Structure 1
Amino acid sequence: MISLRKLPVLGLLHVTGALAQSQAALNAVDAAQMSIPAARQTFQKGGYPGSALTVRQTLAAGSNYTRQVVSYQSEGLRINALLTVPRGTPPKGGWPAIVFNHGYVPPKVYRTTERYVAYQDAFARAGFVTLKSDYRGHGSSQGEALGGYYAPGYTTDVMNALGSLKRDPRVNPARIGMWGHSMGGFLTLRAMVIDRSVKAGVIWAGVVGDYDQLMNSWTRRAPVPASIPSAVLNLRKRAVEQYGTPRANPAFWNALSANSYLRDLGGPIQLHIGTNDEDVPVAFHTTLAAQLRPLGKLGGNYVYPGDNHNLSGNLRVALNRSVQFFRDRL
């Protein structure tokens, strides 16, 4: 993530102005589209097929892997992504792979090769194919950025990234995991309860509360980023007006929350967070850990005293733990 407080005023105005969403796209959003059962039904009917990965740009190689900007199809949109592939002879059945889900970055500031590079490099050097999708409306990906919590587009893009890896001949489709940070943790949890073939997940500083927590317990130390258009923020208000609050209408909102379907996870999840996280409440992490543990789905629970949202003070330790977890599980 980046801090908008470090952007010059004119740059900030440019960012917020560039993010105006079309009224047609906003009008088409209905919170009911976030339903986990509906997404599962779509998946079971082959609705997240992904596509072949098309090379858009070949980048400088890493120490033992290649790097390319690629694209794949998601609901007819071209979504860009950063792909890494290990060099050498793949193991029988193909390389293990990780779908890499980034957190919130202002979509028009976002660049495929400028965010999460060090994070992705750690998994690439360890012998995993990795695919970090840009989500719709991010950078030069097609579509509109409508946020991840009340519109289904980002979830759909993650599911199609997963579908694209499954069909890639270099990848073993039975050895795929997911890594997510912040909003990407929210998307990771959703994808893993939609598709049980995902064998393992790692979530850093994840927005992993249910909708009651998201609406009533998300007290940020930092202000809501100014780059989020008011029209996108209003999607929550519109959803509550239409369906009531999570406390008034729990059946509706529980059907939208991945937390209601944790028994259906196809593999364990390892959790990481810092106690001085300025963006995500530690309570989201601790509540999810408590829910996963009795189900046998908690693959590790790491809380880093004094660390921030990006785990900057324990970056190498957290990366090593995450890499080892995937080595053990995939």
Structure 2
Amino acid sequence: MAALTLATRSSLATAALVLLAGCTSEPDAGPAPAGESSATTSAEPEAAETPTETPTETPTETQSPEPPPNPISIAALAQADLTGGGLRLGAVRERTPAYTSYDVTFASTTAGDGTAPLRISGVLNVPTGRAPQGGGWPAVVLGHGYIDPAYYVRGQGMTRERGFLAQRGYVALHVDYRNHAESSDDPRIESAVRLGYATDVIAAAQALQESRDVRVDPDRIALFGRSMGGGVMLKALAIDPGLFAAGVGWASVSSLEGQNFDHFQRPDAPVAQLEAAFRGRHGLPDEDPAFWRGVSPRPSFGDITEPVLMVHGRFDDTCPPPWATATQRALTEAGVDSTLEWYDDGHAFGPAFVAAMDRTVRFLDNRMPA
């Protein structure tokens, strides 16, 4: 999602947090073929040269530069210098025969504007044993779905996925996002429609790449988001193409943010309150459609260079299955190597969890071979 990432307790802010939960001229003719001449001869005498008027310069049409993108947009973040690093291992949370789990922190840029970076917390699972010869462990950055930040605790939301991946030989870094758990607060997170979550997962990948404590192959880092995190994943791939080796989205929200707003946020608060919350920043989707497209990943799918696996339950009553179909179609039309897998399950993936994870690991193994 992610990507990458201030909790208010009023009914309006709770509703706002659900958003994102759950973007020829013809070729020259060229020289004449060899052996042929483009000149012509004539038996007629040359006509006398007639004076011509002094040519006048034709004014050239100047193109005005394109206006800069809205500062709150995927396009603006794609142009920003997003940075992350400083991965620090803290207390050991758990030791199993397959992996060791650590509390971690790392730094994430605020908004690419040169301000002080934020401290992001998370949980890191490192497989037991030595890293593979060569580049190191393959890794997966995890972007969780929506959980009220007022109640969210470190590493919550993708514990099963984190453990499963580590058992299969992947370093797994669960990102708490800004304003969650022990992460720093970003007071602009709501006015920026949570785009900061995408910068947090981007920062997580950069932190893994430069870590001296965990040997990770910098060319084999994937991004895996579920629900809201699925949207974070798509945004991050569009913002920083080439950083990740692959993307996975489970039970993802819509790739159009106006659709997410109408589905999750609009029913939970009176329109007057919603309008007041956005006044002075941007309008609601039907009032300011250009803004909402600018914070949506779909218009930027053409920038994605990584293969993407989408996984969705046929009985998902939180993120409607047609959203997955529309996202998959848009990815394909944009030229993205993408696959959509369906399972007879709901939003949380209960009975189909193991099968869906097996499919996800096969996808990662194939797309990030040793």
**Bin for the TM-score computed over the shorter chain:** 0.7 to 0.9
Residue matched to 1:211: 257
Overall identity of the aligned pairs, in %: 31
Residue by residue over 1:131-188, the C-alpha shift from the partner in whole angstroms, topping out at 9 and shown as x without a partner, is 1111112122221584597133222222211221121241111111100001111110
Match of 1:40 among 74, 78, 82: 78
Q: Which residue of 2 aligns with 1:200?
A: 246
More helix by share: 1
User: Displacement, 1:212?
Assistant: 3.6
Kept in 2, the 8 Å contact 1:15–1:106? The answer is no
Give, in whole Å, the separation in 2 of the partners of 1:180 and 1:52: 23
RMSD: 3.1
> 1:106 maps to which residue?
148
- The residue aligned with 2:44 is none
Q: How does 1:1-330 map to 2 (within 5 A)?
A: 16=9, 32-42=70-80, 47-74=81-108, 75=110, 76-91=117-132, 92-144=134-186, 146=189, 150-169=193-212, 170-197=215-242, 198-216=244-262, 218=263, 234=274, 238=278, 243-244=282-283, 246=285, 249-305=288-344, 307-330=345-368
Against the structure 1 CA distance between its residues 19 and 111, is the aligned structure 2 distance closer, same or farther, given a 3 Å change threshold? farther
Structure 2 CA distance for partners of 1:322 and 1:236, relative to 1, 3 Å: farther
1:94 Cα offset (Å): 1.7
Change (3 A) 1:67 1:291: same
Unaligned runs of 5+ in 2: 1-6, 15-68, 111-116
The structure-2 alpha-carbon separation of the partners of 1:62 and 1:144, relative to structure 1 and needing over 3 Å to count, comes to farther
SS at 1:155 equivalent: helix
Verify the 8 A CA contact 1:94 1:172 in the aligned structure 2.
yes
Structure of larger gyration radius: 2
Distance (Å, rounded) in 1 between the aligned partners of 2:171 and 2:350: 24
Structure 1 position 112, deviation (Å): 1.8
> Do the aligned residues in 2 keep the contact of 1:150 with 1:235 (CA within 8 Å)?
no
**Paired residue secondary structure (1:119):** helix
- The runs of 5 or more residues in structure 1 that have no matched partner are 1-13, 22-30
The answer (yes or no) to whether the contact 1:179–1:201 under 8 Å persists in 2 is: yes
The answer as to whether partners of 1:148 and 1:155 remain within 8 angstroms in 2 is: no
* SS of 1:107 mapped into structure 2: coil
Report the AA paired with residue 355 of structure 2: V
Contact 2:83/2:206, CA 8 A, preserved across alignment? yes
- Number of residue pairs the alignment of both structures matches: 293
Structure-2 change in CA distance of 1:234 and 1:158 (3 Å): farther
The answer to which of 186-195 and 73-82 deviates more is 73-82
Residue 328 of structure 2 aligns to a residue in which SS? helix
User: TM-score under structure 1 normalisation?
Assistant: 0.78
Deviation at 1:110, TM superposition (A): 1.5
